[in-house]
Structure 1
Amino acid sequence: MTPACTHGPTGHFALYLRAYWPDPTALDGTWRPPAVTRTTD
């Protein structure tokens, strides 16, 4: 089976994080999400 898309997006890319009922640290800016890392197959 071949995947429909074998490459990443071209152009502008945005990554959003949804935080439902976040801890106070997420709201006051002291918590930082983990870094996003590009992967390859």
Structure 2
Amino acid sequence: IALAFEMQIVKKVPAGKDDIPVHKIITEDRIITSVSRNKN
């Protein structure tokens, strides 16, 4: 879970193989549930 301001939300964020995904983002306006990436 991560906290953010609505103005910080973007459509896509580059992610590397060692990054840890965030499953939920909470802003002052909404709760966003992320789509997990397929790891093969």
**When you count strand as a share of all residues, which structure comes out higher?**
2
**When you count helix as a share of all residues, which structure comes out higher?**
1
Question: Above 0.5 in TM-score?
Answer: no
**What's the TM-score bracket when you normalise by the shorter of the two chains?**
under 0.3
Higher relative contact order (CA 8 A, sep 6+): 2
Normalising by the residue count of structure 1, what TM-score does the alignment of the two structures yield? Answer: 0.21
